[in-house]
A and B are shown apart, each in its own frame.
Chain A
Amino acid sequence: MIDETTRIRRSAEVAAHGLGAGEGGVLLHLKSGQYHGLDSVGWTIWNLLDGTRTTGEVAEELRGRFPDAPAHLPSDVGTFLSDLLARSLVEIVSP
């Protein structure tokens, strides 16, 4: 399970491509062949998932970039990361 202390990184089996400023990106899982579109916020989060930040720190960083983000931003980030994890696009970094 993901909580705010969990560190998450991008899977090495995923190729990613940004679509330009404000346009998000596309992820391709190289093993399954499934591809996924991310909006600009999702793409921003994706680029923060280098394994050094906790989920809480990702949410904080995001709030810094999107000052008008809603109060439930941390839970939205958690849900998004859970979705990524369920699709094997990210992995949890062992403590």
Chain B
Amino acid sequence: MSPLQDSPTVRPGTLIGLLLRNGLGGPAAIKRGRVTVPEDVDWAALCAVSHRCRIAPVIYQCLRGSSLPVPPGVAAWFRAQYYEAVARHLASLNELRELLGWFSEAGIPAVVLKGPALAQLGLGAARIAHDLDVLIHHEDLRRADAILVRHQYDAMPDPPHDFHRRYGRPAPWGMRVLEVHFDITDRPRPYRPDIADIWERSVVTTVFEVPARVPELGDHFLLTLMQLPHHHWAVRLIVDAWQVARRWSTAIDWMGLLSRAAGWEMGVLTRSALHTMGTMFDVPIPAAVMAASSPSGYLERVQWRIAREAVAEQLEYPFRPRLTWAAPFVMLDHPGGLPAVLIKRTLGAGGSPLESAARKTTRRTAATMAALPALGKVFLASLSPGPRRQDGRGGR
């Protein structure tokens, strides 16, 4: 052995996991002394991964709460990300206040989805959001459109979706994007949230002092998880769900949530997401729910493993996506629907309107083909049981 040994540099994903557990895990995690943040840190990689995953502001909060000696330049960079997130949050709230005021004057009921409403439940102003999402009734769409056009919003030139319309409005801090949903179900996707029930269960509250109607807690949680496939299992959404689970664990009817998820045909997605959160990050999910979220049978082991690895590879530096692009299409309650989902994904609408259909199809097909080797490994690895939660609760 050489007398000269380089100290191993801590991988950014490992450190991010530690910081998030330390910062978001609450006093119990710290008290148990499970979190020891190492000192040989590749700071540039940490910044890069945090930025790419859009979690730099929350990492900043976690760093502040840690004893890690952060270089001044790195601290300043994270602080700037945090301040910018808070400023964006303020801009969003201002826009939300205006928007709900116009809709209220016109007698148009609206439910605030995601964005500030989700921030209120979880990360607060540290949550990065670039757009606003509201749900209205389909019959109000024409009036809402007229109101928005009157206030300098332009319909964006996306391909027309059958569940929402996007608008943009220039603002001093950049283009503000508003998504007006009149349905939640994206037809090419296999999930079926019950929109009438979401309306019925929605509650009036205040979102950072802005009076607003928001989805009921369980609906909100499921709608957050439902975004995971569309956003390729984005770590920022895992962190969102983590925060909601941590803060509202006792208020959530977990078993009812699983039942509702199955009714929305997103049982596999929900259970795999909860299991991933519990096994990878020790998110405080009740043991019974973790047990109910464990994979059952070979095919589910494949799905669960894909979910975990899609999250894990996003935390790597440099980023070499292997499963990320394929992961969204395997989280199906009914695997028989997979060919239809893949065909719709390859040939269907969505993506940039500037991209030709041929180019889009080629790109999407190539991405799926590139994922095949990694998928093969997952299928083989799933012959053995999956990961077990460290504390022995649930999982397999």
Contacts and interface: CB of A to CB of B under 8 A. Distances in A.
Contacts of A34: 172
Given A17-B89, A31-B172, A33-B173, A26 B83 contact: yes
A28 B125 contact: no
B94 A15 contact: yes
Contacts of B90: 15-17, 26, 28, 35
Interface residue tally of chain B, by bracket?
10 to 19
Contacts of A33: 91, 171-174
B79 interface: yes
A2 B171 CA distance: 32
Interface string A23-58: 100101111111101000000000000000000000
A15 B83 contact: no
A22 to B, nearest CB: 10
Contacts of B156: none
Nearest to B64: A23
Nearest to B93: A15
A83 to B, nearest CB: 17
A78 to B, nearest CB: 25
Contacts of A35: 83-84, 86-87, 90, 173
Residue of B82, B84, B172 with most partner-chain A CB within 10 A? B172
A73 interface: no
A81 B87 CA distance: 21
Contacts of A31: 172
Nearest to B173: A33
A69 interface: no
Nearest to A14: B90
A16 B125 CA distance: 11
Residue of A28, A29, A32, A33 with most partner-chain B CB within 10 A? A28
A29 B90 CA distance: 10
A32 B172 contact: yes
Contacts of A93: none
B79 A28 contact: no
Contacts of A29: 172
A19 interface: yes
A26 B87 contact: yes
Interface in B169-188: 171-174
B94 A37 contact: no
A17 B89 CA distance: 9
B56 to A, nearest CB: 15
Contacts of A32: 172
Nearest to B85: A26
A34 to B, nearest CB: 8
A15 B125 contact: no
A28 B93 CA distance: 11
Residue of B79, B82, B87, B89 with most partner-chain A CB within 10 A? B87
A53 B174 CA distance: 36
Nearest to A31: B172
A35 B79 CA distance: 13
Interface string B66-100: 00000000000001001110110111011000000
Nearest to A34: B172
Nearest to B79: A37
A26 B86 contact: yes
B171 A37 contact: no
Nearest to B83: A37
B28 to A, nearest CB: 20
19 contacts: A15-B94, A16-B90, A17-B86, A17-B89, A17-B90, A19-B82, A19-B125, A26-B83, A26-B90, A28-B87, A28-B94, A30-B94, A30-B172, A33-B171, A33-B172, A34-B172, A35-B90, A35-B173, A37-B83
Interface of A: 15-17, 19, 23, 26, 28-35, 37
Given A17-B90, A28-B90, 15 more contacts: A15-B91, A19-B82, A19-B125, A26-B83, A26-B87, A26-B125, A28-B94, A28-B173, A30-B91, A31-B172, A33-B171, A33-B173, A34-B172, A35-B84, A35-B87
